[in-house]
Structure 1
Amino acid sequence: DGLEGDALKAAQGEAYNLLYWGSVILGLGNGTVEAFINPVVATMFKKDKTKWLNILHAGWPGGLVIGGILTILLGAQAAEDWRILIYLIAIPAVIYLVMLLKVKFPVNERVESGTSYKEMLAEFGAIGALIAGYLIFRQLGMVFGWSDNAVYGLTAVATIGYGLYCKSLGRPLLIFMCIIMIPLATTELGTDGAISGLMEEPMKEAGYNGLWVLIYTSAIMMVLRFWFAGPIVEKLGPLGLLATSAVLAIAGLYLLSTASGLTAIFVFATLYGFGKTFFWPTTLGVVSEQCPKGGALTLNAIAGIGMLAVGILGGPVIGKMTEDSIKLSVEEANSAETYKKISNDSTYFLGDYTAVDASKVGDLPEEEQATVQESIQSGKQGSLASVAIFPVFMLACYIALIFYFRGKGGYKPVEI
């Protein structure tokens, strides 16, 4: 309080550094938990991996439900004092620490079976290393400002080195699942902002806190994963569940793209929520059941590929789809000239496109600005129909896998 000039700038710089490194440390903590817990659960429940990985991953939306409710109850206090949020994070962290102090976990099934470290690396292979390596180095390049050539060079060196050591291109099924994971993660995580935006505005107009949207969608995922994953997997099998989920996601996204009114939006968002609920943990279940020799590496690598792909590949593609949809909406409701006035040329990793500039929209006359904003919102909503292409691709892949396993006598977990 009361700082000015250079003293204020110095304090802001110090605060930024604290926030930055605090976020890095928090991210490392979250990543360590994720890297440890998935293989542990797969090892503890060898005969029922998909069911229990779904139950495990019910904890993530469960945390969002609890965190969302606490944030609403705390009200302005949570927004005004950042320390409250740290305390909320610290509570489960301390509880976990106490719980884990004397806990002994079983030996990983890969280690127990006598599968060597090199054999584990061979499951992922050079192609898996290429996919993961590119995403890792691309992300690091975005943070540290590396050139494309540097990213490609580092990826090539890492891939060649990995391949020469393990002498394997990778298990085809695992590589196929890694490729599916990219649109899967984009479908599950990349659409959250757009769908929440559709639901939050009507909620606020009705006098409700917009956080209830997050709580509602997270509660759906928590309940379905915790109580229903087991019976559904038993009935449909993991691949049948994934294919059904893709169908529901496609229907939900397409219907959301044209929905109007709070009730219709909530109904179709619920349908979409049912679809995306089982994608992530069931994929981990399939990988752990079909590639047990990959141990912790394959489970964590495919999850990491999904997380990185959303920001590096999926996000920009969805952004391009959204901007294209906005362009059509503005040109239809207003004019092509209006769109030119409010847009700028932009680029992403697949080429050039045009994007709306919010400052230019703000410069429009008030009456025109209102109609343009309405067109922009309509375009954003309409873009969800284009995003449905991701679960369409996934559905085709799951159907192919179902027929592949049917040709081998049916889907059966691999035992080592």
Structure 2
Amino acid sequence: MSQPINANRLFYASCFALITTAFSFSIRAGILTQLGTEMNLDTVQLGTINSMWFLGFPISMILGGIFYSYIGPKLIMQIALVAHAVGILMTIYAVDYNTLLISTLLIGLGNGCTEAACNPMIADSYSGIEMNSKLNRFHMWFPGGIVLGALVSKFMTDANMQWQAQIWVILIPTIIYAVLFYGQSFPKPRIGDNSVLANFKAMLNPLYLFMAACMALTAISEFGPQQWVGPILAKAGASPMLILALVTGLMAVGRYFAGPLIKKLNTVGVLLGSAVFGVIGLYMMSTMQGSMLYVAAVFYALGICYFWPNMLGYIAENLPETGALGLSILGGIGMFSSSMFQPVIGAWIRDNKVVAEA
């Protein structure tokens, strides 16, 4: 007799898996300057390393979405665990630029597997407003984990601890989610058609294509400024890691209490409001210095807070026939967009630094 599905335990395990993703994002952002100095890497090389994190993400998300109906979330999360563990250890013992590229790609693959397995698994376990609420609370732990990771990175850096010691911290949530998932029964795919061809046909819906185009833009507005917060704001008169902690902390709180807001405004209203606040926040952050950057960060956080989970929730609720593949492709597009822009942002920073020093 099969073990009954413990939806809450699976949900908590998924949250710790996403915290692993968040730690790999924020701690990497915190060590960029130290990593560049120790290994003699310029900002373009650092940007290329960052792009591997974002490149591995969509690759495994899309493949996971394609095969989700056939292999289920359990095997995908086992692959995520192996990729996370190997990638983290390779990063700690990295000796050159190429090793960092490979290790970061592996971590990105593990992160993508987490999204590919956990998003549809949560959508299969809950329905209606509860599903949207759970997706928001699940994605709360990406900014929530970034807050914790940013603070850990700041304190460890201020204590003159090596960047390798900070990477070891990422293993903590990795071990926890492995323990929570161990021995559990997983739900069978429920949303959409099990046929990949049927999923692809559903994804040709103009509404899905529009949301995919929006995801490419909203994702880079979230991940671009956050990943480069250290080099960009280092001399702006505010603590970069505190800015990152403030932004992601507000995002975590906003996503936790998203249920009543969605019920009142509906998903489209929430996304429209996010776009307005996002534009205001990005403009303020690009024009202000000193303590006003903390005010700008509040607007920016309110803008990007609801983008990712509610775009996924909107597709899951309104186009369920796209299945797990539709969710994975949508998230993959966002991460691929972020991957493409990482070296570009690095080049912008390098070129503007040269101009400033001239």
TM over 0.5: yes
Report whether the alignment pairs 1:122 with 2:201: yes
CA distance in 2, matches of 1:253, 1:15: 35
CA distance in 1, matches of 2:352, 2:289: 26
Partner of 1:72: 154
Equivalent residue in structure 1 for 2:182, among 101, 106, 112: 101
CA distance in 2, matches of 1:245, 1:69: 26
Deviations 1:332-373 (A, max 9, x none): xxxxxxxxxxxxxxxxxxxxxxx94645654x4xxxxxxxxx
Partner of 2:123: 42
Identity across the alignment (%): 31
Q: Name which of structure 1's ranges 307-316 and 178-187 shifts more when overlaid on structure 2.
A: 307-316
Report whether the alignment pairs 1:183 with 2:207: no
1:42, CA displacement in angstroms?
1.3
CA separation of 1:67 and 1:313: change in aligned 2, threshold 3 A: closer
Partner of 1:387: none
Equivalent residue in structure 2 for 1:54, among 107, 131, 136: 136
CA distance in 1, matches of 2:342, 2:156: 34
TM (norm. structure 2) is 0.65
Secondary structure at the aligned position of 2:104 is classed as helix
CA separation of 1:14 and 1:248: change in aligned 2, threshold 3 A: closer
1:241, CA displacement in angstroms?
0.3
Equivalent residue in structure 1 for 2:264, among 223, 227, 235: 235
Letter in 1 for 2:216: I
Aligned residues: 265
1:102, CA displacement in angstroms?
1.8
Query: Does the 8 A contact of 2:226 with 2:244 survive in 1?
Result: no
CA distance in 1, matches of 2:175, 2:128: 31
Equivalent residue in structure 2 for 1:211, among 241, 252, 268: 241
Query: Does the 8 A contact of 2:236 with 2:289 survive in 1?
Result: no
1:16, CA displacement in angstroms?
4.0
Query: Does the 8 A contact of 1:58 with 1:223 survive in 2?
Result: yes
Where do 5+ consecutive residues of structure 1 fail to align?
1-11, 125-169, 324-354, 365-416
Letter in 1 for 2:103: G
Query: Does the 8 A contact of 1:50 with 1:238 survive in 2?
Result: no
Query: Does the 8 A contact of 1:198 with 1:265 survive in 2?
Result: no
CA distance in 2, matches of 1:314, 1:179: 19
CA separation of 1:38 and 1:260: change in aligned 2, threshold 3 A: same
TM (norm. structure 1) is 0.57
Query: Does the 8 A contact of 2:237 with 2:289 survive in 1?
Result: no
CA distance in 2, matches of 1:273, 1:248: 8
Deviations 1:191-214 (A, max 9, x none): 33677667553555xxxx542221
Report whether the alignment pairs 1:245 with 2:324: no
CA distance in 1, matches of 2:343, 2:272: 23
CA separation of 1:13 and 1:94: change in aligned 2, threshold 3 A: closer
1:29, CA displacement in angstroms?
1.2
1:315, CA displacement in angstroms?
7.5
Partner of 2:205: 171
Letter in 2 for 1:201: K
Partner of 2:114: 33
Query: Does the 8 A contact of 1:287 with 1:299 survive in 2?
Result: yes
Where do 5+ consecutive residues of structure 2 fail to align?
1-92
CA distance in 2, matches of 1:65, 1:90: 17
Query: Does the 8 A contact of 1:186 with 1:315 survive in 2?
Result: no
